[in-house]
Structure 1
């Protein structure tokens, strides 16, 4: 992999300043050819290639040698960009995928317990997200998926990675497609799945490359871009944990860049909805470390909930209708912390002891749009993306349920700014009886009352 000053990789339980589905195994390395720079006023660095201008904040992403960066009189401070490599949670690798042809005519509403528990059909009697815009900062959204072709804005969707592809996943996974479906799937003409805000304008901001890597700078640039194209909501189902709270000059600089970027987006009217992470960590009492970006400035941090036994006999009494845990119960993996979490929302849970027993344990995960790679030219290598449907769990799935709800609130209240949309969601939420506030912040997402 070119562009690295050293091959010493950092391994943390959640990563360093990036990565989808926080809480998985992530490695990071600093770049030797790419830097995030703080400029002096409006001066533009010369002798360096500008990768992202990020208009609105006093930071720019450049390529060139460190020597050239140090010599530039336009540069006040700088730090190397960080490249992140990701492995998704194991529970998500065990789930089946249904291709679109096999799924046609199946009872998608039954499988979408998250939308049923949130009373999304009732909310749609008020609005389906008309007049709003939501950006998905993730691994790319498959534009050929029948449930996403309608909401997806192809003119505004962008690839921030510089890997030569477009906004679609290029050799990467279907994480972003699943996230986008939770927000805005429009039921593909009556045979697919439902999103919370199917009539929102969906903007795909791809920040993960084919190799599964994401750049911290690309994520920041996508946040600024989302604000500058008028996104009412930006969903970031990505994160890093644990990051040292006071990690010398580098840590302080990265934190300053992140907070400045997030504050700018909020000021421009973009609500940042961010996954809280999947480390089962108490973010309130975890020492001198921090989870980012969900503990950054202006973040709406989302913890995950889910049922146990949805559509299968989890308690062994012979009744498929009984649940061992309700949909609003905290997921086993979710991060928590009273002042670190804003809302709890459906992200899926799992009884890991049930995996491999033959019961449909995956029904407790979130069901929505995915795709699979198949070999169409017979060379033994998967080369074609085939749209389909499948299950995933994570705070990555909980965040888009909130992002979709935020779009509905904005649609119903067009004059609301980002803080007012968040306030409406928080006021409508309640902590479920018998559960700890630490898992919910203001409470469990209540879409209908928020309208």
Structure 2
């Protein structure tokens, strides 16, 4: 482990820096004095030294239609077009090859424009420009389940959150429109066709009204299926049944071939969905930038203000804290983490001839616990059927017997299905390589798995004529609903907000996918990710809106958060942290039956950074009594461990009249002298009779423990290189060192290629000529080590880079 020297010699190099929330040092001399010019803010990663074309999003000072409306002002598209036109005209005078791509006015005021990167600063002094954002890449937040473990019968997640009980109560999403902002949707799929009318939505990749998925053979990139899978979880009604099977769908294709797209299309999709009358929108997409102030998040916040429930995935970069990415960082939208459904674990032993042991035998999957335990009742003949293809069973008697099958060539579930079709009551599948293979929920017959070594023992038993097997299967323990390791965690930088807001099933979720074959339109696949969790919440929001058509977005969000079920980490036996599960896993029946709402559904008091003495922060929440009678509420606030340095002061009791709302004020006093620096987690409990609503809350003492550097890069740019890093909180000291890459790690140090001081967040870049101490480095792989000091914390992280 290399330790960086504590004292750095800072040399200021004549290079171009990119600093987030960039403020130009533009001055004019007048009689020997300097007058600073007004400049817009520049966010994000843009190589200002490059002449290559780049696209940026320009936000205007003129308020969007929705923002003005929310502030009690009147704004028109015509006026915005005029303001936008002035800015574009000024820009094109400065940069004659600037080309405007998209224009926005409804939930975001501005436009996207392509121009040379080294001309971006020309935008910043144009009157009427508020900010400039990078056109960052967004990708789908999904992980495809291995084809071997895919099971078309795993659609248990909608009933798990209580969708079937909501359907029984008459809530199916009818009359509610959900926008799927994604890779497009196969609106011809038999399970989805009912949800689409003549107008399907819009394709922002090809700019037409046919938002179909990317088919195979597109020269621009791979085919897609993500949006169709998301749409099925929301509103499928066929072989698969989504959470809101009678909802209306609109599809907006903002991610193109290969499942990626950019800010300019995502913002356009949000705008169009709001204008097309969507009640709910789902964005199962994201990037890794933990920052709330990006164009997409701003658009989502104003979409919520306009009354559209915006649901977005929290990201798949877990399990560490601070991994949530935009647009999951949005202040207002509902960000969703992913969970795995509960399951029972069974132990298993198999026996043939006395003295032959099979220590690797484990339960792989089963159709029901009853059928699994039925294997304990007697001895069974077992028959080897090779790979378990349908043809492997031909001419063999498997009725009431066990199929012995080798792993390989096709899905485990198909092997089990073929065994069932041949009359087998169970199966043993052994591996075809060393090690253990995956568990598969919901197999067609009870199935035991073994290693290759134990499988060869079973084959030897058959050869010796010992072809009977018995089972000893016992319930071991139950694992409740758990948070998926891949699910991203909060908090959000700068706002210090808890994210996700809620969680929902996102592991091994089976839903619709396109086949791109009209003769065989019934396509299904199993994916996992926060992409799969978000549409469960979007569908749930549709049902809540159907039940309460006059509710605002805050009520819908609160109903889902206030009634969510807290999840327990089976490893620790304690509740997951707020920034892991949010308010908990959604439960539809409880959300539909809510009689009290507390908004907002979570709180962050931010950071308390005084070295000594007390610091007080004020907050408030609103209690809404939805019932027909007056209710009396009491409050309790408790931080984990009851630390002596934290004191919360609020009302003890409050009466709220039927159908009314009332604001509750409370203060938090933190005595930093009595507390260790760090993260403190608490719960605000609002009680009325037997009803208790728990509102998650957090605070930080001292500078939060966010990563000081989260990534670094070295990229070829003409005759030089762009070197940089992502610094969520900026850096008081920043240094880049190069090392040789030897045996998978640090080799000899080559030298320092850049040293800087007082660098703002979140992106830093500079140009490097490719040499160290006057010596040109040969092309190849190197270790780029980044040293950062910020807020009294230092970090030194290494990244593998390649010089070309």
**TM category, shorter:** 0.7 to 0.9
Give the Cα–Cα distance (whole angstroms) in 1 for the partners of residues 522 and 51 of structure 2. Answer: 35
Distance verdict in 2 for CA 1:311–1:52, change over 3 Å:
farther
C-alpha displacement at 1:347, in angstroms? 0.7
1:341 paired to 2:384: no
**3-state SS, counterpart of residue 274 of structure 2:** helix
Q: Kindly report which structure 2 residues correspond to 1:271-282, keeping only aligned pairs within 5 A, or say none.
A: 271-282=309-320
Contact 1:31 / 1:81 at 8 angstroms: preserved in 2? no
1:304 paired to 2:357: no
Equivalent in the alignment of 1:118: 161
Contact 2:511 / 2:525 at 8 angstroms: preserved in 1? yes
Equivalent in the alignment of 1:436: 576
Q: Kindly report which structure 2 residues correspond to 1:47-446, keeping only aligned pairs within 5 A, or say none.
A: 48-63=99-114, 70=122, 75=129, 77-84=131-138, 89=143, 91-94=144-147, 111-126=154-169, 127-162=171-206, 166-171=210-215, 172-187=223-238, 192-241=239-288, 243=289, 245=291, 255-283=293-321, 286=322, 291-307=325-341, 316=362, 320=366, 321=369, 326=479, 328-337=481-490, 339-348=498-507, 365-373=508-516, 386-433=521-568, 434=573, 435-438=575-578, 439-446=580-587
Contact 2:141 / 2:284 at 8 angstroms: preserved in 1? no
**3-state SS, counterpart of residue 134 of structure 1:** strand
Contact 2:566 / 2:585 at 8 angstroms: preserved in 1? yes
Q: Deviations over 1:83-109 (max 9, x none)?
A: 4567963x53535779xxxxxxxxx7x
Larger radius of gyration: 2
Contact 1:161 / 1:215 at 8 angstroms: preserved in 2? no
Contact 2:107 / 2:303 at 8 angstroms: preserved in 1? no
Q: Deviations over 1:48-73 (max 9, x none)?
A: 44523242422222456675994776
Give the Cα–Cα distance (whole angstroms) in 2 for the partners of residues 157 and 85 of structure 1. Answer: 20
Q: Deviations over 1:367-426 (max 9, x none)?
A: 11112356x9xxxxxxx9844112111111111111100100000000101111011111
- The answer to which structure has the higher strand fraction is 2
Which ranges of structure 1 fall in alignment gaps of 5 or more residues? 1-15, 18-28, 99-107, 246-253, 349-364, 377-383
Give the Cα–Cα distance (whole angstroms) in 2 for the partners of residues 277 and 78 of structure 1. Answer: 24
Q: Deviations over 1:208-243 (max 9, x none)?
A: 1124320111112212222222222111111122x2
Equivalent in the alignment of 1:358: none
Distance verdict in 2 for CA 1:410–1:269, change over 3 Å:
same
Give the Cα–Cα distance (whole angstroms) in 2 for the partners of residues 30 and 430 of structure 1. Answer: 53
Task: Name which structure has the greater RCO, CA cutoff 8 Å, separation 6+.
Answer: 1
Distance verdict in 2 for CA 1:118–1:31, change over 3 Å:
farther
Q: Deviations over 1:350-372 (max 9, x none)?
A: xxxxxxxxxxxxxxx11111123
Contact 2:316 / 2:487 at 8 angstroms: preserved in 1? yes
**Segment drifting more, 159-168 vs 266-275:** 159-168
Give the Cα–Cα distance (whole angstroms) in 2 for the partners of residues 70 and 118 of structure 1. Answer: 52
Distance verdict in 2 for CA 1:312–1:179, change over 3 Å:
farther
Give the Cα–Cα distance (whole angstroms) in 2 for the partners of residues 228 and 31 of structure 1. Answer: 35
Contact 1:97 / 1:388 at 8 angstroms: preserved in 2? no
Give the Cα–Cα distance (whole angstroms) in 1 for the partners of residues 175 and 253 of structure 2. Answer: 23
Equivalent in the alignment of 1:101: none
**Segment drifting more, 407-416 vs 300-309:** 300-309
Give the Cα–Cα distance (whole angstroms) in 2 for the partners of residues 292 and 95 of structure 1. Answer: 33
Distance verdict in 2 for CA 1:53–1:87, change over 3 Å:
closer
Q: Deviations over 1:300-357 (max 9, x none)?
A: 1111111376899899369833697646222232223472121121111xxxxxxxxx
Distance verdict in 2 for CA 1:319–1:214, change over 3 Å:
closer
Contact 2:139 / 2:255 at 8 angstroms: preserved in 1? no
**3-state SS, counterpart of residue 410 of structure 1:** helix
Contact 1:230 / 1:269 at 8 angstroms: preserved in 2? no
**3-state SS, counterpart of residue 208 of structure 1:** coil
Distance verdict in 2 for CA 1:428–1:84, change over 3 Å:
closer
Contact 2:290 / 2:326 at 8 angstroms: preserved in 1? no
Distance verdict in 2 for CA 1:83–1:173, change over 3 Å:
same
Distance verdict in 2 for CA 1:419–1:182, change over 3 Å:
same
Contact 2:133 / 2:294 at 8 angstroms: preserved in 1? no
Distance verdict in 2 for CA 1:323–1:336, change over 3 Å:
farther
Distance verdict in 2 for CA 1:313–1:300, change over 3 Å:
farther
Contact 2:346 / 2:477 at 8 angstroms: preserved in 1? no
Give the Cα–Cα distance (whole angstroms) in 1 for the partners of residues 548 and 130 of structure 2. Answer: 42
Equivalent in the alignment of 2:612: none
Distance verdict in 2 for CA 1:81–1:274, change over 3 Å:
same
**3-state SS, counterpart of residue 181 of structure 1:** helix
Contact 1:137 / 1:205 at 8 angstroms: preserved in 2? yes
Contact 2:202 / 2:208 at 8 angstroms: preserved in 1? no
Q: Deviations over 1:267-295 (max 9, x none)?
A: 11112211111222333xx3xx7521111
Contact 2:345 / 2:477 at 8 angstroms: preserved in 1? no
